[in-house]
Structure 1
Amino acid sequence: MKARFHLPGIATHFKFNLIFATVLEQYPQYFRDFEIASFYGAFPQSIWNGGRTQEGLCDKKFVKMVLKAFNDRGIPVRFTFTNPALEKKHLSDKFCNMVMSLANNGLNEAIVVSPILEEYIRKTYPDFKLTSSTCKRLDDGERLAQELEKDYSIVVVDYDLNNKFDILEKLPHKEKCEFLVNSNCRPACPNRKQHYYNVGVQQINYANHMRKYPDQPYDPIIFGDGANQNCPFFTRNLFEIRDLSTNIKPADIWDKYLPMGFNQFKIEGRTAWLFNLIETYIYYLAKPEYADIARYTLIDFCHENDVLSVNE
Structure 2
Amino acid sequence: MRVRFHLPDFSGNFKLNLLFAELLEHRPDLFREGVEIASFYGVFPPSIWNGGRTQGGVCDKTFVKSVIKTFNEKSIPLRFTFTNPALEKKHLSDQFCNMVLNLANNGLNEAIVMSPILEDYIRRNFPKYKLTSSTCKRLNTIEGLLDELKKDYHIVVMDYDLNNRFDLLEQIPMADRPRIEFLSNACCEPNCPRRSAHYHSIGVQQIAYNEHIKKYPNLPFDASKYDPDHFRDCPYSQRGLFEIRNLRTHISPDDIWEKYVPMGFEQFKIEGRTASPLNVLETYMYYMAKPEYRDETRFMLLKAMENSGALSFK
Q: TM-score, normalised by structure 2?
A: 0.97
Instruction: Tell me if structure 1 keeps the 8 A contact 2:204–2:227.
Output: no
Provide the rounded CA distance (Å) in 2 between the counterparts of 1:70 and 1:211.
29
Provide the rounded CA distance (Å) in 2 between the counterparts of 1:268 and 1:137.
16
5 Å-filtered alignment, 1:45-124, equals 45-124=46-125
1:96 alignment partner AA: C
5 Å-filtered alignment, 1:244-259, equals 244-259=247-262
1:7 alignment partner AA: L
Aligned to 2:138: 137
1:294 corresponds to 2:291: no
Q: Residue deviations 1:14-65, cap 9 Å, x none?
A: 1110011111122211111210000000011100000000110111111101
Instruction: Tell me if structure 1 keeps the 8 A contact 2:201–2:227.
Output: no
Provide the rounded CA distance (Å) in 1 between the counterparts of 2:219 and 2:236.
29
Instruction: Tell me if structure 2 keeps the 8 A contact 1:202–1:226.
Output: no
Secondary structure of 1:198's counterpart equals: helix
Instruction: Tell me if structure 2 keeps the 8 A contact 1:220–1:226.
Output: no
Aligned to 2:309: 306
Aligned to 2:183: 180
1:280 alignment partner AA: T
Structure 2: gaps (5+ residues): none
Aligned to 1:19: 19
Aligned to 1:285: 288
Measured after TM superposition, the shift of residue 224 of structure 1 is: 4.2
Larger displacement relative to structure 2 (93-102 or 225-234): 225-234
Q: 1:262 aligns with which of 256, 261, 265?
A: 265
Provide the rounded CA distance (Å) in 2 between the counterparts of 1:244 and 1:38.
26
1:87 alignment partner AA: E
Q: TM-score, normalised by structure 1?
A: 0.98
Provide the rounded CA distance (Å) in 1 between the counterparts of 2:127 and 2:225.
39
Stretches of 4+ aligned residues off by more than 4 angstroms: none
1:121 alignment partner AA: I
2:216 alignment partner AA: Y
Q: Residue deviations 1:160-217, cap 9 Å, x none?
A: 0001101001113111100000000000000000000000000000011112211111
Provide the rounded CA distance (Å) in 2 between the counterparts of 1:164 and 1:226.
30
1:303 alignment partner AA: E
Secondary structure of 1:281's counterpart equals: helix
Q: How many pairs were matched up? A: 310
Measured at CA, do residues 303 and 240 of structure 1 come closer, stay the same or move farther in structure 2, by a change above 3 Å? same
- Percent identical across equivalent pairs? 61
5 Å-filtered alignment, 1:194-213, equals 194-213=197-216
Measured after TM superposition, the shift of residue 225 of structure 1 is: 5.2
Q: 1:228 aligns with which of 231, 242, 251?
A: 231
Aligned to 2:219: 216
Aligned Cα root-mean-square deviation (Å): 1.0
Measured after TM superposition, the shift of residue 223 of structure 1 is: 3.6
Secondary structure of 1:119's counterpart equals: helix
1:37 alignment partner AA: A
Secondary structure of 2:122's counterpart equals: helix
Secondary structure of 1:35's counterpart equals: strand
1:144 alignment partner AA: L
Q: Residue deviations 1:242-290, cap 9 Å, x none?
A: 0000000101101111110000000000111111111100000000011
Instruction: Tell me if structure 2 keeps the 8 A contact 1:46–1:207.
Output: yes
Instruction: Tell me if structure 2 keeps the 8 A contact 1:202–1:225.
Output: no
Secondary structure of 1:97's counterpart equals: helix
1:12 alignment partner AA: G
